[in-house]
Structure 1
Amino acid sequence: MISVDSALTDMMSAVFADYREGHDSPTVCDAAFWNRLNELGLIRLTGDEARGGSGASWLEAAELLRTATYHGVRVPLAEHDLLACWLLDQVGLEVDDARRTACVLDGTGTATDVPWASWSDRVVVAWRQGSSTRVADVDGRDLHIVPGTNIAGEPRDRVSVDVARLSGDVAPDTLIDTLFLRGALARSVQICASFDRILELAVEHTRDRVQFGRPLMRFQAIQHLVADIAAETALARATTESAVAEVVRSGWDDPRIAFRIAVARSCTGHAASVVVRNAHQVHGAIGTTREHRLHEFTTGALAWRSDFGSVYHWDNLLTGTAMAAGPHRLWAYMSS
């Protein structure tokens, strides 16, 4: 996978590391830090430069998500840039400095588990109306929002509105499906970043913790647990980076994108069970405390693997694709 400019990655890392220092965990982005990210051109990193964005690709966006997650900062960069503002760009609506998230309304005008809705100024909503898809940029004060949180402490809210009162713009029929895939890939990137941090914490703990006169890392059973974390992390990262690279190379209209993302989400979803279980076994009782940072990353990995499709959903999609391809076309499909 093509690397991101080192100066950009160093800047991202410094910004999030500086903000994380001195804050309690988990660290949820505040308005002042959001404004700081805006000044640096990071909240609309992939937006069209002609419309006020920074014109970056998904490579840079993935690095930004990875860096924020690695430092344990909860910030709706994916929701704002990759979902909400992308929707507005697709239908030609104006994008300003308001904080945004996005959701898809059902037939009753309701969406559940909407990320960061109660934190946002505006919510970009999409819904089916007859045979067409519509998009509207709605002020949060015009929505009925019931706040909630996921197990990682991030806002996951219930949003409802009378769609008859909305004058939405007509959007391409594929827009909602693409929105779902974009959200799924963003979560895969975040899960992998959590795995990287979990692995580092596990290695650090087993190196420093002495039991029965020797470091934990000298016990073979502990070595096996950490090795499994490393193996699952590597597999999850490889499939996710492959999906990101395919998006950059071929764009979102390529039919292979859904398959690549499904592979990434299936691998990261199954890996989360192993990585989280083994990490907490390695850390023992201290890993369950609020004072230790492990929970910041294990709860994130478990929460995000259910966003934009469950593991069951992505496994079913892969199974259906394999059955449809048949024994003679499956390898060509997978290796193309």
Structure 2
Amino acid sequence: MGRIYLDHNATMPLRPQARAAMLEAMDLVGNPSSVHAEGRAAKAMMERARSRIAQAIGAQSADIVFVSGATEAAALALAGRGVHGAGIEHDAVRAWIAEDLPVAANGRVTVDDPARSTLQAANSETGILQDLPAGLAVSDWTQAFGKIPLAFDWSGIDMALISAHKIGGPKGIGALILRRGLDVAARIKGGGQEMGRRSGTENLIGIAGFGGAAEAAIQDLENGLCERLDKLRNILESALDLPTRETIFVGQESPRLPNTSCIVTPGWKGETQVMQMDLAGFAISAGSACSSGKVRSSAVLRAMGLTDAEADCAIRVSLGPDTTEAEVLAFAEAWLGAHARFRRRAG
């Protein structure tokens, strides 16, 4: 069967539609800020991509501010605002917030003061979904975009963060979405691109790929992707549900993304599982990978009340649009075999 990729929440393989759009952009000479014909052609391509992303996310084109990724979008939205959040937020968000919102054991967060708070739409490690209150200052939609239906204009949220490579676009491009009439102070100053909110010549190739990926992702949703992935995720968890009931499927009692399963087997290190599955031909993840590639104990799981020892034993399997039932069952067979060996060694 060859290698099987089950780490779509880390990054999704580049979609053909994104690749085609990027190749087209590579053939354009102009700078989108130039007024001559070549510049206008580049500008037109950029605005078509902006429109595609806006339609996919349920926003207006003027609300989309292109940045290098969700990490930069978080900095642009949150720096200096004194916003409150929870320990389940991504590191890119947690770096800018007062981390004091309580997290229930089921991974859900209650927000009492939305105007001064941030709350993610979906967690990257567990897939747990949140109820987003109207008036929320900022919401990280990076993992939810393209996996569940979203409509920014109807959400009542001030700002949202998204990233291209989570939906099959290129790495190094993302966007901040702003509620109409709201503005942010530029952190990168210079030529005044992106309506004065983010200076620097726009990454036209990345933006074009982002637009192609967004359009394809929404088409997948309209074609029943949520239902198909939910079925596959349930097949996976049923196959891994050991008779001893020792394995924990984190967030199983909460609403979750349809593609995400966070699995904790006490005593069996997540990093060890990742290496064993890698050798068996499967790409999965454990905890949160930092820039050095080392694995840290999951702050998300600790915030939910799991012990350090339990958090160290978590793995994440995240499915994608092209994942098949045969691939899911092949992973389950390999994982169960590795688990049996682990148990024999453990005595």
**Bin of the TM-score, shorter chain as denominator length:** under 0.3
Give the TM-score of the pair, scaled to structure 1: 0.26
Flag the structure with higher helix content. Answer: 1
